Amino acid sequence: MQEIMPDREKSSLTMRYRISVLACYCFLSRESSAFVPAVRVGSSLQHHAAGSHASSSRRTVSSKMQAELAAEVDTINEAAEGDGKKKVVVIGAGWAGLAAAYELSKQNDDFDVTLLEGGKSVGGLVAGWLTPGGRPVEAGVHGFWYPYRNIFRLIEDDLKIDPFTPWTQSAQYSPNGLEVISPIFQNMPRLPSPLGTFLYPSFLRLPWFDRLTALGLLASVVDWDNTPEAWRKYDKYTARELFRMMGCSDRLYRDAFEPMLLVGLFAPGEQCSAAGALGMLYFFILAHQADFDVKWCRGTTGEMIFKPWVQRIEENGAKVLVEKRVSDVEVCPDTGRVVSVTCGGESFPCDAVVSAVGINGVKGIVRAARGLSRLPFFSKMMNLRSVDALAVRLYLDRRVRIPYQSNACFGFDKTTGWTFFDLTAMHDSLDKSEGTVLEADFYHADQLLPRSDQDLVAKVQGDIATCVPAVGRAKVVDYSVVRIAQGVTHFSPGSYDSMPTCETPIPNMFMSGDWIVNDHGSFSQEKAFVTGVEAANAVVKRLGVGRDSSIIPLEDDEPHIQALRAVNGRAKRAVKSLPGAGWLLP
């Protein structure tokens, strides 16, 4: 019975054959100066005499040999260095970078993936670590909202882990006390969007008249379709201008919408793009009734999600390297392609590179890499800004009952929004603790970062005590303070035109992150994850190997919104067809 030769033996035999051919070419090339080739002239075979004609013939044969030899050398080198795999370097190990590396690592036969992270652990802003006292901390607590369909598929179907709490209620506080209690919306009778969002929460202080003025915003919601045209139209205005133009009352804006902007877009309304505000509000709140429902991680995201995820990536054959801060991206001047990524004195050759760092990280790379800074696509990213954040974790000496696990707060510091969490109720490891562990996360925290740790601890305990008085009677036995300067994306007015797309002028370099322009419609962590998968698919397309990874689209707009948008589209086309329409401002 004939035995089928294994693929590895076939590959080895093919390699030995190529090396034999290479040896023959080398021998012939060496001897060609003494070799006078025979050529047929007419019907007789004659030898050329030594001379210019013979030299010309030798040069012709030698050139052909050299070309074939060079091609064979390239093939052998490629096979010897990576069995023909394409080398891909991913910069940044947050949601976007891990998503790109994971999808490419699943195609281990085609790609040799190296993931570079500048910090001491993977995860970017959601990386966790231990304090000197052995207590777990992370740079902010991050929720997982109902429309995070791609992240939930990764967690449940691919990694098959269960890191989340059940869906939870949330509350909102001001210095006056409890303001709003949000239900679990999917448990309520479904109403056409956005009615459920406005009717089901318990607004304890906001009058009905003010709430009704929110209906004027529906016109902009219908006009908003996440297209580049919509982004450019609304990016000219601040979010505050948008709410004023749509007829929202001052109290509705101050007590409802601006608090959402402070914790959703990390800045006050006068500093937020109206386009960013519409995109964020539609994704998290307005598109479907259940979209505001949220789960939380039952421990640090780094330990509960990123650790098993990285383990899977490494099992797939990829390399995950930490403390590798990128100092240069080398672009070949002849081809215009990235050929390597440098971290200090270490170089990583590549066939493609995916950037998956935040705005501040990209700006640092662009400053250092001449091959990038000379291109307007990259240099205009220097116009973009990031926002300071702060995370303070308190360990109290006693159990304190916190009514709701997650809470948003407004009115304590002008231009700063914050949230606080009962980690004792959220985290499995703290469930049997004798004390209480609370975390407060602040956004647009510029005015707070210079303050001492002791001042911040006292402030946080005092502010939470305004919401839950029993916290003020407890003693702080330990704490952690994490300052994140320029850490989160700022969707400022006019920023859209400086934001990059996935594909860049460099054919084999791709961008990803929650600040990248794409048409999926998601925001925050889900958008970062999706753009990472999109970058992986762009690598597949550019290099011509591998297969695309699937991306779950957002849930369709509700029928009445689709119908209203169709009418709005026809009306806009009709207006554009009118004489002199070009003189009108959009």
Dump pLDDT digits (tens) for 44-67: 333 333 344 444 444 444 555 555
In degrees rounded to 5, what are phi and psi of residue 275? -65, -45
DSSP letter at 420? E
Higher pLDDT residue, 140 or 134?
Answer: 140
Apex CA 429: angle with CA 426 and CA 435, to 5°?
80
Model confidence pLDDT, tens digit, residues 193-215: 999 999 999 999 999 999 999 99
Q: Which two tokens stand for residue 462?
A: 């005092």
Q: What are phi and psi of 444, to 5 degrees?
A: 55, 55
Q: Considering the chain, what percentage of its residues have pLDDT values greater than 70?
A: 83
Helix (H, G, I), strand (E, B) or coil at 460: helix
Q: What is the pLDDT of residue 135?
A: 77
Average pLDDT over residues 428-444: 92
Report the distance separating Cα 586 and Cα 584, nearest Å.
6
> Tokens for 563?
């119908």
Q: What is the pLDDT of residue 176?
A: 96
Predicted confidence at residue 582, as pLDDT, reads 60
The region, left, alpha or beta by phi > 0 then psi within -120 to 50, assigned to residue 176 is: alpha
**What's the pTM?**
0.85
Q: Is the pLDDT of residue 295 over 80?
A: yes
Per-residue confidence (pLDDT) for residue 432, from 0 to 100: 81
Per-residue pLDDT band at 140 (split at 50, 70, 90):
confident
Give the rounded percent of residues in the chain with a pLDDT score beyond 90.
77
Rounded to the nearest 10 degrees, how much is the dihedral formed by the CA atoms of 426, 429, 431, 433? -130
pLDDT digits (tens, 9 = 90+) for 229-242: 999 999 999 999 99
* Ramachandran class of 420: left when φ > 0, alpha when ψ lies in -120 to 50, beta otherwise: beta
Q: Which residues pair with 349 in a beta bridge?
A: 340
Choice between 31 and 126, residue whose per-residue pLDDT is larger: 126
Q: What is the pLDDT of residues 81-100, one digit of tens each?
A: 456 899 999 999 999 999 99
Give the residue-averaged pLDDT of 343-371: 96
DSSP-based three-state secondary structure for 494 = coil
